């Protein structure tokens, strides 16, 4: 397995989303590479962003699409904007030699309330990604109408070849983490749907919207020993992305805490 660090865990509102911090942090973090989290503010300087990232020559096999895309896809008023953002994310991913593209197919306050709209967009999104040579992965993002597993089942029923990324925190938020281990849902990994995992801890009871934040491993209540045992039974040998957010009060990323998480993950 290769262990990635989500850039969202080290670059965010705490440090004004300054992507140029990636150069210094990459030298301190003991991960194998990065999953680039795209922010809307970066679209206006996307050419500079691409040039900067190419100059760093880091291993960035995954790009996480800008999160508002899912919200846009659920509304007819913003549908075109959602596709415009997605195409820019595809271009970015191709330019920096990424292979995978993670997408929140729904999201925001509208969440999955117009899910049929989001569902119907997938085929076009996937074709666009394929044109850029990218593998599109749909995340089990939180819902405010149904739940991620229900939405995944609907997606797989409509699109049997769809690829997915399983987020531990998102699943735990809905009390659905253990579903991953059950025989009823083993088709998710046996049939090759789950192609990537996001690793983040969750520290509250199900559906506690005030505490949705991804925590570093050990800062919440997820049983990662059981999760690691599950990975072994499936012989998973792909990518794992740590999504736990860890910042000091001064806005600097807690490199020591993140490196400890990478050490735990390597133990898996």
Q: What distance in Å separates the CA atoms of residue 236 and residue 231, rounded to the nearest whole number?
A: 6
| pLDDT at residue 249, as a whole number | 85
| pLDDT at residue 126, as a whole number | 98
Low pLDDT (below 70) residues in the chain: none
Both tokens of 251, joined, read 């806005």
Q: Domain limits at 55?
A: 2-267
Angle, vertex CA 241, rays to CA 188 and CA 140, nearest 5: 40
Give yes or no for a contact between 174 and 143, defined as CB atoms under 8 angstroms apart. yes
Instruction: Count structural domains, the chain.
Output: 1
| pLDDT at residue 251, as a whole number | 87
Give yes or no for a contact between 241 and 199, defined as CB atoms under 8 angstroms apart. yes
| pLDDT at residue 246, as a whole number | 86
Residue 29: CATH number of its domain: 3.20.20.150
């Amino acid at each position: 397995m290769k262990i990635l660090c989500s850039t969202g865990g080290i670059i965010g509102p705490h440090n004004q989303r300054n992507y140029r911090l990636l150069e210094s942090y990459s030298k301190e973090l003991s991960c194998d590479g990065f999953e680039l989290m795209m922010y809307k503010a970066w679209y206006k300087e996307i050419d500079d962003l691409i040039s900067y990232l190419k100059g760093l020559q880091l291993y960035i096999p995954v790009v996480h699409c800008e999160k508002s895309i899912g919200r846009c896809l659920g509304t007819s008023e913003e549908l075109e904007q959602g596709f415009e953002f997605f195409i820019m994310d595809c271009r970015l991913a191709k330019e920096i030699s990424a292979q995978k593209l993670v997408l929140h197919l729904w999201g925001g306050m509208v969440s999955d309330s117009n899910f049929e709209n989001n569902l119907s967009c997938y085929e076009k999104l996937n074709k666009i990604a394929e044109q850029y040579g990218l593998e599109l992965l749909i995340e089990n993002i939180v819902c405010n109408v149904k739940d991620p597993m229900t939405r995944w089942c609907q997606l797989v029923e409509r699109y049997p070849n769809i690829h997915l990324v399983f987020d531990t925190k998102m699943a735990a938020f809905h009390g659905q983490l253990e579903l991953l281990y059950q025989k009823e849902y083993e088709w998710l990994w046996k049939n090759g749907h789950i192609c990537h995992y996001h690793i983040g801890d969750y520290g509250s009871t199900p559906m506690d919207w005030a505490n949705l934040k991804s925590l570093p491993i050990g800062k919440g209540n997820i049983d990662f020993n059981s999760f690691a045992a599950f990975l072994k039974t499936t012989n998973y040998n792909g990518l794992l992305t740590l999504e736990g957010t860890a910042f000091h009060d001064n806005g600097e990323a807690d490199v020591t805490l993140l490196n400890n998480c990478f050490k735990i993950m390597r133990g898996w």
